[in-house]
Structure 1
Amino acid sequence: MATKNNKSTRPTALRLPDVAHWRYGFVMLFVLAGVVVLTWRLLDLHVVDQEFLRTQGDARTVRVESIEAHRGMITDRNGEALAVSTPVQTLWVNPAEMNLDDPRLGEVASVLDLDLNGLLARLAANSERQFLYLKRKVQPSLARDVLSLKIPGVYARREYKRYYPAGEVAAHVVGFSNIDEHGQEGVELAYNSWLSGEVGRKRVLRDRKGRLIKDLSLIADAAPGKDVSLSIDLRLQYIAYRELKAAVRAHGADGGTLVMLDVHTGEILAMVNQTSYNPNNRERIDPADTRNRAITDLFEPGSTVKPLTIAAALESGRYAPETVVNTSPGYLRLNGYTIRDARDYGRLSLSEVVYRSSNVGTSRIAMDLTAPVLVEMFSRVGFGQSVSIGFPGEGVGVLPVRSRWKDIELATLSYGYGLSVNALQLAQAYMVLANGGIRYPLSLVSLAEPPQGQRVLGEKVTAQVRQMLRQVVEKGTGKRAAMPIYTSAGKTGTVHLVGKGGYEDSQYKAVFAGMAPADSPRIVSVITIDDPKGEEYYGGEVAAPIFARVMSDALRLLNVKPNIQPTVAGQAVNSGSGSG
């Protein structure tokens, strides 16, 4: 039976509202715009601006690294090495790549003499870093032993380490540099800019773990530092150091200094001090031992300046070597102070005043000359002025200048009190006496040509003073400075040291300043010994014998012809060069 209202049962189509159509269109447009932008960016980077990607890639793989430059050599005047830079290896690690449980780390600590617990603590504390020094400047053999363990994150790079072949013998002259090869003392500091090289640069390729793949290009090659040739003669330096060290020990002294100059050039041939140090091992070094006493330490020169007072007297024209000075009764009262001689010498000639070392005689001469004359003489030979060798820490000394002088001040100045000098200044003054009156600038660098000197004294005056100094050795206070085959001339000095309460009664500095051979000097030397203990403390007892031993060996090494004929059983032996 047919039904009524026969209507279709198919579902009618669902129509989207107008808002839904708009949203759909917006999303599709946004997606399409994004695709267009990304496509354009890809084209821009890979076609238009591909250099940007390459630069960014290189920034993550290409590195600019430094090329180490070795420091210049320091040599003596004969080319013997005093300081050299040798290639070594520096071990470093990338803590981020390392496994702290790796048992091979114990072997690393053993090879490098490191504390294992301390090493592990350092690695753990720096685990986020990519670079950490393991140990700097180790021997290449030790570096090979460590690298052979093939521990991930352990690497090496080449550096240079300073080595001092002469050790403590030349330590006060050469000085030393720090681990980065920057000068800290001595010539290393004074000539640091000259000795330092210029670090080079190169471009290298490394992987993401920092390992070197290959060298790409050289940006700037390393330039090594320039060499320095010193005036020091290492042979003489060894002799001086040996004798000074032995004397300081023998007398229980606190220290000592010895310098030697070439009288015709002003070059420093030897300069040693006690106590010294080993620049190759400075772990337990006393900073006081690094001081170059020959330049930094000042002292009152005592009787060693008496020849300069006599030179001023001779130059005045009012005195001659035979001029007599009355020293009786052996003492002199001035401004409430007493100046004494060892005994009452009575009437002395100028020559006798020198070789008997009369304080009274020297004082009377100085008061007759007046202070300006004496001060001007001391200034001419270099007292109170820098020796200008460029050495760090130089003590210039004091040469007093006053508008009014007391008699006691002038008198004590004439025999070496009331002024201060360093050993090089005193040696420079004796160089003037030795070479006929020319003051040459001192040099610690070997000279290619003779320097230009300045005449400050006449030849006749200096010849007369040298003869007096020769008598000091032959029959005066300096007898122990005599040598078997060379004549010598010089002056002793024994100076009271200054303490907290003034001059110490039982502490002395023993001094000897001299030249050899006496008739035609080649070398001048000054020796000081600080506070010798025991019965011997005078300059003639302590310092003069060192002069004799050092100068005798030095002159032979320099091929200076002997000027004394040695005797055998009372018979003279020909000391000429001979033909056989």
Structure 2
Amino acid sequence: MSADARGGVSPRRRPPSAPMGGARYYLILFLILVGMLLLAGRIVTLHVIDRSFLQGQGDARTLRTESLSAHRGMISDRNGEPLAISTPVVTLWANPQEVPEDRIQRLMLAQALNMSPDDLDARLERFSEREFMYLRRQLTPEAAQRVLGLRMAGVYAQHEYKRYYPAGEVTAQLLGVTNVDDFGQEGVELAYQPFLAGTPGQRRVIKDRRGRLVRDLAILREAQPGGELVLSIDQRLQYMAYRELKAAVAEHEADGGVVVMMDARTGEVLAMANQPSYNPNNRAGLDPRGLRNQAIVDVFEPGSVVKPLAMAAIMESGQFDLDIEVDTSPGWMMLDRFTIRDIRNYGRLDLAGILEKSSNIGMSKLVLELDEPLVPEVYRRLGFGQSTDTGFPGEAVGHMPAPVRWSRSQWAALSYGYGLSVSALQLASAYTALANGGVRMPPSILKLHESPAGTPAIDPGIAHDLLRIMEESVQPGTGGRRAAVPGYRVAGKTGTVRKTSASGYEQDAYRSLFAGVAPVSDPRIVTIVMIDHPRGGDFFGGAVAAPVFSRVTGGALRLLDVPPDQRIR
């Protein structure tokens, strides 16, 4: 009998472990194989199928295409002397979100930027939600390196160009300026912006995640510099004209003035000086009046300096001989309730005497006897009331009234320089007709490779006679005697004209002018001088403007090596 049968308790026995079922085993094996296949498929997809896409995405986070700045074309004078050049500068910018907040680092950055720490913190806070802000524009490379040498996170450099004007205020109004982005804003810089501006290039680089340059890879497109512009200006003559004009404006306490010097043979502008002026390299405290190139964009009534031009029309009519005499007594006359006056009673004057004495009465009486309105016709042939086509921004065309229902007083006023307006450049161009055998040369501010054809405006014989008459107006004892140039024969005409205001002609405000040609034997230079509102006591053109003409023209003739033509007496 067994122990159990005998009533004892037997110990519990565990059944032996059963092997894993076949179905369960193969399921697990299948899942492992599927996972391995999926992983292998993903690896194949990433390395074969999606390789180009993924590489492009990676490159997009490291490869960059950057712009290469192109420097602006140089502007030079007719002899190749630089008047405007572009110099390399560095602009510093920052990502405010990357700039460290560490106080010591920010203090070092502020010192390198020459800023107060508080100002730097305020700017970073103002742009804290953005990823770009300028720190400093257009620093010299040395100044920028002091900042970049800190190797501070979030601070980057951009290479640019800045315009520099070696002649400073001497050529400011003619050249104009560019803005901080090197785009022309005034003068020649604006007029020839498409020509002067370069074409930026592109390069491919590798940068790290903080935007720092790791390696240059390739130049995708070379930067193309702007074209070089050669002006007709002679820098030597420009300096001299500006110096003499500035001295005269200061001496006579004038509001300003203009000098225009033109090559009589070609119409090229050799000098164009303005007062007041400004320094284009440092525009702090800029006087807005200094921005205007008064010689081209401003107009004025020319007064007596156009009398030789009106006399050309009178002589062209064929109604008067050179020796005809006109009675200008008693020195004044009433015309349409207006009073026309001479400085004094000159009595009887021939045509040469009328110009020499600058008689308003004589001019008026001659013009009123003309059968046809030849004076405005000659003025138009000389370019008055028309564009000079220099391309200069804001170029004035002046004013030539249409001869419709004109009164006798208006006809008379036109003959002595009132009732019309011209620019100094237009006046200089008109005088080239006297200097060039009756052919007016169009003005040019660019150097010409050949002389233009010009426009016939005055009979050559009449132009020759007028030069001879005007030469007598610059002899000792005449009002224009201070315009004489030692060693050279000079022909010219003084002018003194009242300024206008909203209420009419001002009583004590004048413009003083002188227009002349030299040397008479073989004219090379036409010079116009205008001094605006001289206050030093003298205001007549012969006393204020003529001496400037003498010094500027005399110096120019010597610099240009023009031989003297004055006979030694």
Q: Bin the TM-score by the shorter chain.
A: over 0.9
Structure 1 residue 483, shift from structure 2 partner: 1.6
Structure 1 residue 28, shift from structure 2 partner: 12
1:541 is aligned, of 540, 543, 562, to 543
Question: What letter matches 2:242 in structure 1?
Answer: Y
Taking a change above 3 Å as real, the CA distance of residues 54 and 331 of structure 1, as seen in their structure-2 partners, is same
Contact 1:260–1:269 (Cα < 8 Å) also in 2: yes
Contact 2:261–2:272 (Cα < 8 Å) also in 1: yes
Q: Provide the secondary structure at the position in 2 that maps to 1:156.
A: strand
Deviation string 1:208-257 (CA, Å, 9 cap, x unpaired) is: 11111111121111000010000000000000000000000000000101
Equivalences for residues 316-355 of structure 1 within 5 A: 316-355=317-356
Q: Provide the secondary structure at the position in 2 that maps to 1:452.
A: coil
User: In the aligned structure 2, how far is the partner of 1:28 from the partner of 1:323?
Assistant: 131
Deviation string 1:456-488 (CA, Å, 9 cap, x unpaired) is: 212100001111111111143211111222121
Taking a change above 3 Å as real, the CA distance of residues 371 and 342 of structure 1, as seen in their structure-2 partners, is farther
Equivalences for residues 148-163 of structure 1 within 5 A: 148-163=149-164
Structure 1 residue 372, shift from structure 2 partner: 2.5
1:404 matched residue in structure 2: 405
- Residues 332-341 or 263-272, more deviating: 332-341
Equivalences for residues 365-444 of structure 1 within 5 A: 365-370=366-371, 372-444=373-445
Question: What letter matches 2:93 in structure 1?
Answer: W
Q: Provide the secondary structure at the position in 1 that maps to 2:373.
A: helix
User: In the aligned structure 2, how far is the partner of 1:499 from the partner of 1:313?
Assistant: 31
User: In the aligned structure 2, how far is the partner of 1:252 from the partner of 1:405?
Assistant: 38
User: In the aligned structure 2, how far is the partner of 1:366 from the partner of 1:499?
Assistant: 28
Structure 1 residue 500, shift from structure 2 partner: 2.4
Structure 1 residue 129, shift from structure 2 partner: 4.1
User: In the aligned structure 2, how far is the partner of 1:433 from the partner of 1:29?
Assistant: 109
Question: What letter matches 1:153 in structure 2?
Answer: G
Structure 1 residue 161, shift from structure 2 partner: 1.1
Alignment gaps of 5+ in structure 2: 16-22
Structure 1 residue 32, shift from structure 2 partner: 8.7
2:521 matched residue in structure 1: 519
1:227 and 2:199 aligned: no
User: In the aligned structure 1, how far is the partner of 2:149 from the partner of 2:45?
Assistant: 48
Alignment gaps of 5+ in structure 1: 13-20, 567-571, 573-580
1:448 and 2:449 aligned: yes
User: In the aligned structure 1, how far is the partner of 2:174 from the partner of 2:383?
Assistant: 21
Contact 2:431–2:440 (Cα < 8 Å) also in 1: no
1:483 matched residue in structure 2: 485
1:553 and 2:550 aligned: no
Structure 1 residue 312, shift from structure 2 partner: 0.7
- Residues 504-513 or 470-479, more deviating: 470-479
Structure 1 residue 125, shift from structure 2 partner: 3.2
Question: What letter matches 2:481 in structure 1?
Answer: K
Question: What letter matches 2:428 in structure 1?
Answer: A
Taking a change above 3 Å as real, the CA distance of residues 47 and 553 of structure 1, as seen in their structure-2 partners, is same
Structure 1 residue 39, shift from structure 2 partner: 4.8
User: In the aligned structure 2, how far is the partner of 1:116 from the partner of 1:518?
Assistant: 69
Structure 1 residue 453, shift from structure 2 partner: 1.4
User: In the aligned structure 2, how far is the partner of 1:45 from the partner of 1:150?
Assistant: 37
Contact 1:260–1:271 (Cα < 8 Å) also in 2: yes
Structure 1 residue 71, shift from structure 2 partner: 0.4
1:576 matched residue in structure 2: none
Q: Provide the secondary structure at the position in 2 that maps to 1:243.
A: helix
User: In the aligned structure 2, how far is the partner of 1:534 from the partner of 1:272?
Assistant: 21
User: In the aligned structure 2, how far is the partner of 1:11 from the partner of 1:485?
Assistant: 141
Structure 1 residue 37, shift from structure 2 partner: 5.8
Question: What letter matches 1:347 in structure 2?
Answer: R
Structure 1 residue 345, shift from structure 2 partner: 1.5
Structure 1 residue 38, shift from structure 2 partner: 6.0
Equivalences for residues 255-266 of structure 1 within 5 A: 255-266=256-267
2:219 matched residue in structure 1: 218
Question: What letter matches 2:220 in structure 1?
Answer: I
2:18 matched residue in structure 1: none
Deviation string 1:185-213 (CA, Å, 9 cap, x unpaired) is: 11100111100000000111111111111
Structure 1 residue 341, shift from structure 2 partner: 1.1
Taking a change above 3 Å as real, the CA distance of residues 55 and 559 of structure 1, as seen in their structure-2 partners, is same
2:20 matched residue in structure 1: none
1:15 matched residue in structure 2: none
TM-score (norm 2): 0.92
1:17 matched residue in structure 2: none
User: In the aligned structure 2, how far is the partner of 1:519 from the partner of 1:245?
Assistant: 30
User: In the aligned structure 1, how far is the partner of 2:376 from the partner of 2:30?
Assistant: 103
Structure 1 residue 94, shift from structure 2 partner: 3.1
User: Identity over the aligned pairs, expressed in percent?
Assistant: 51
Equivalences for residues 23-62 of structure 1 within 5 A: 39-62=40-63
Structure 1 residue 103, shift from structure 2 partner: 2.2
Contact 2:251–2:536 (Cα < 8 Å) also in 1: no
User: In the aligned structure 2, how far is the partner of 1:217 from the partner of 1:368?
Assistant: 80
Contact 1:363–1:414 (Cα < 8 Å) also in 2: yes
Contact 1:45–1:52 (Cα < 8 Å) also in 2: no
User: In the aligned structure 2, how far is the partner of 1:519 from the partner of 1:560?
Assistant: 11
Question: What letter matches 1:292 in structure 2?
Answer: N
User: In the aligned structure 2, how far is the partner of 1:286 from the partner of 1:38?
Assistant: 75
User: In the aligned structure 2, how far is the partner of 1:30 from the partner of 1:393?
Assistant: 84
Taking a change above 3 Å as real, the CA distance of residues 435 and 49 of structure 1, as seen in their structure-2 partners, is same
Structure 1 residue 283, shift from structure 2 partner: 2.2
Deviation string 1:333-352 (CA, Å, 9 cap, x unpaired) is: 11111111112212110000
Structure 1 residue 97, shift from structure 2 partner: 2.9
Deviation string 1:497-524 (CA, Å, 9 cap, x unpaired) is: 1112110011101111111112321100
Question: What letter matches 1:328 in structure 2?
Answer: S
Equivalences for residues 30-109 of structure 1 within 5 A: 39-109=40-110
User: In the aligned structure 2, how far is the partner of 1:94 from the partner of 1:125?
Assistant: 12
Taking a change above 3 Å as real, the CA distance of residues 86 and 9 of structure 1, as seen in their structure-2 partners, is same
User: In the aligned structure 2, how far is the partner of 1:249 from the partner of 1:28?
Assistant: 105
